Amino acid sequence: MAACAACSGDARTASSSGPLTVNIGTFLSKSGPSSLTDLAGVFSSEPLVAAAWDGRPLFRLAESVVESEDGLVLTVTLDGKVRFHTGDRITAPVVRELMLKKLPRLPEVSDIVVLDDRRLELRLSKPSSLKAEDLSAILVDSNDSDKLALRTGPFKFVSTEPMVLQRFDAYHQGQPTVERVEIRQYPTHRAAWTGMMRREVNFLHEVSRDAIDFVEAGGDIRAYPLLRPYYTALVFSMRHPVLRRREVRIAINEAVNRNEIVVNGMRGHGRIAEGPFWPYHWAYPQGRFPVAFNPEAAKLRLEAAGLKIGARTPQQMPSRFAFKCLVLTGDDRFERIAQLVQRQLYAVGIDMTIEPVPAKELQSRLLAGDFEAFILELGSGRSLNWARRAWHSPGLGTSGYPVTGYAAADAALDRLQIAHSDEEVREAMSDVMHAMRSDPPAAFLVWPHEARAASASFDIPYEPERDVFGSLWRLKEAAPDLKAQR
């Protein structure tokens, strides 16, 4: 009955007379079925250890993770209650096989060794270079068509074209309340939204910032805002003859009005970024590193550096110096922010030229260090290892991070890597923040708010700014009186 309702174009009422079905509409920038498989992994796959909202380790497939005294080995003991979608219990040999293909995403791991059926060792290239919560970076699964059942999440694959998942009754956290999940890909955000309005789907993977206010205005669709663990930054290359100067990068940070970016560039759907660390992490130095908007101080700093405003030329506006900033072609999220930063910097005499670049070219240029600056989202995750991978020298371009040439925070990042006690971690994180404030690799701008959207016919467990996808397997159909109120 649910499937028939969905086929008839009324997904919002699909669960009213049968098993509860979630029909998700999505626009994904990557093309092809692999992107849908990645999204389906949110519901079908799990890591050994997840990072909780505050960055603490949250054990999933692992029962425990123990670090050796020399810091070179993590011994992982698997939870014996967890089963693959095949019905078989997870074992160390199979987990090792699945993880080996993903080792490039864990460059700190040099080898994985099976000790017995439930234990394996992650051998590290450097002492204490990986903590338990850093294992959240990879899901234990396979995208091979013949191995899709080697997953442990609350839903298992029925088909990939169309993308359909079914409840996994033996899920180790409890039987899901949702019977079926179907994912439909649309060519644009607008098309996905139209599909929601036409009742082709009853859940939207992502609501653009421009549409959040409209969705929240009422009706039978509700928005669920979330803060993603990604920050938008204006990142500098140390190869640029002027940007490599510390006082210039400090001045740029002083000249940027982040509050204006949140209000006008993001329609209020964001929060100011102070650095590269997840702001809800338990060790985050709240209130100790506020960002200051002081364009007059920026002008004085640039004057003291000998950077005077030059005369206008046919090719260039009158300015102290110029640089090019790469942005992703056709993505108005970053173009809008870049335009605001461009105007703010020109107010202090800096000419920032915006250069839109297609995605493939942008990626290759960032990995090769072929840029002067760029504005883009960078992942922070909820663990601390992401910052070290992104900002420790040499640039880890081969691991998917831009090559900037920045090295000023290396010592502080090394201290953070080997910190163990809570006090040591807090002190090391503050050291990194101080190093990046006194010698900045970037102007950290904003943390973006985005949103999911769902039919009011669902009763969804929701906590402010947290992703409702994490609890989708537990959602229920709203009571009739609650539907009427919505």
Q: Is the pLDDT of residue 26 over 60?
A: yes
How far from the centroid of its chain's Cα atoms is residue 371's Cα? 23
Helix (H, G, I), strand (E, B) or coil at 465: strand
pLDDT tens digits for range 423-461: 999 999 999 999 999 999 999 999 998 899 999 999 988
The answer to whether the beta carbons of residues 141 and 119 sit under 8 Å apart is no
- Higher-pLDDT residue of 343, 5: 343
Q: Is the pLDDT of residue 330 over 90?
A: no
Give the CATH number of the domain where residue 94 resides: 3.90.76.10
Return the number of other C-beta atoms located less than 10 Å from residue 173's C-beta.
Answer: 14
Q: Are residues 176 and 239 in the same domain?
A: no
Return the number of other C-beta atoms located less than 10 Å from residue 404's C-beta.
Answer: 25
- pTM reported for the whole predicted model: 0.89
Give the whole-angstrom CA distance, residue 136 versus residue 50.
4
The answer to whether the beta carbons of residues 374 and 402 sit under 8 Å apart is yes
DSSP letter at 479?
A: P
Q: Are residues 20 and 66 in the same domain?
A: no
- Residue 281 domain-assigned (yes or no): yes
Q: Are residues 306 and 430 in the same domain?
A: yes
pLDDT tens digits for range 279-302: 999 999 999 999 999 999 999 999
pLDDT tens digits for range 397-406: 446 689 999 9
Q: Are residues 190 and 242 in the same domain?
A: no
- Residue 314's pLDDT is what? 67
Q: Are residues 177 and 322 in the same domain?
A: no
- Residue 213 domain-assigned (yes or no): no
Helix (H, G, I), strand (E, B) or coil at 330: coil
Q: Is the pLDDT of residue 237 over 70?
A: yes
- Residue 34's pLDDT is what? 56
- Residue 224 domain-assigned (yes or no): no
- Residue 141 domain-assigned (yes or no): yes
Dihedral of alpha carbons 176, 50, 435, 247, sign = negative
How do beta strands 442-455 and 221-227 pair? antiparallel
Q: Are residues 284 and 410 in the same domain?
A: yes
Task: Kindly write down the DSSP assignment for every residue of 386-441, as one continuous string.
Answer: HHHHHHSSSP-GGGT-------TTHHHHHHHHH--SHHHHHHHHHHHHHHHHHS-S
- Residue 27's pLDDT is what? 87
State which H helix or E strand residue 473 sits in.
none
CB-side neighbour CA atoms (13 Å) of 472: 30
Give the CATH number of the domain where residue 25 resides: 3.40.190
Q: Are residues 379 and 324 in the same domain?
A: yes
Give the whole-angstrom CA distance, residue 429 versus residue 412.
8
- Residue 3's pLDDT is what? 37
Q: Are residues 40 and 59 in the same domain?
A: no
**Residues spanned by the domain of 441:** 230-448
- Higher-pLDDT residue of 462, 384: 384
366 phi and psi angles, rounded to 5 deg: -65, -40
Nearest to 50, CA basis, from 168, 133, 106: 133
The answer to whether the beta carbons of residues 174 and 101 sit under 8 Å apart is no
pLDDT tens digits for range 191-223: 888 899 899 999 999 887 767 766 666 578 888
- Residue 41 domain-assigned (yes or no): yes
The answer to whether the beta carbons of residues 251 and 348 sit under 8 Å apart is yes
- Residue 478's pLDDT is what? 85
pLDDT tens digits for range 143-189: 898 999 999 999 999 999 999 999 999 999 999 999 999 999 998 88
Mean pLDDT over 336-356 rounds to: 97
Number of structural domains, the chain?
A: 3
- Residue 184's pLDDT is what? 95
Nearest to 456, CA basis, from 199, 212, 192: 199
Give the whole-angstrom CA distance, residue 370 versus residue 22.
44
The answer to whether the beta carbons of residues 341 and 261 sit under 8 Å apart is yes
Q: Are residues 261 and 282 in the same domain?
A: yes
Tell me the pLDDT band of 31, cut-offs 50, 70 and 90: very low
Give the whole-angstrom CA distance, residue 127 versus residue 392.
16
Share of residues in the chain with pLDDT > 70 (%): 90
- Residue 217 domain-assigned (yes or no): no
Q: Are residues 408 and 427 in the same domain?
A: yes
The answer to whether the beta carbons of residues 453 and 207 sit under 8 Å apart is yes
Mean pLDDT over 456-467 rounds to: 86
The answer to whether the beta carbons of residues 79 and 157 sit under 8 Å apart is no
Please give the single-letter amino acid code of residue 385: N
Q: Are residues 441 and 480 in the same domain?
A: no
| Average per-residue pLDDT for the chain | 90
Q: Are residues 318 and 349 in the same domain?
A: yes
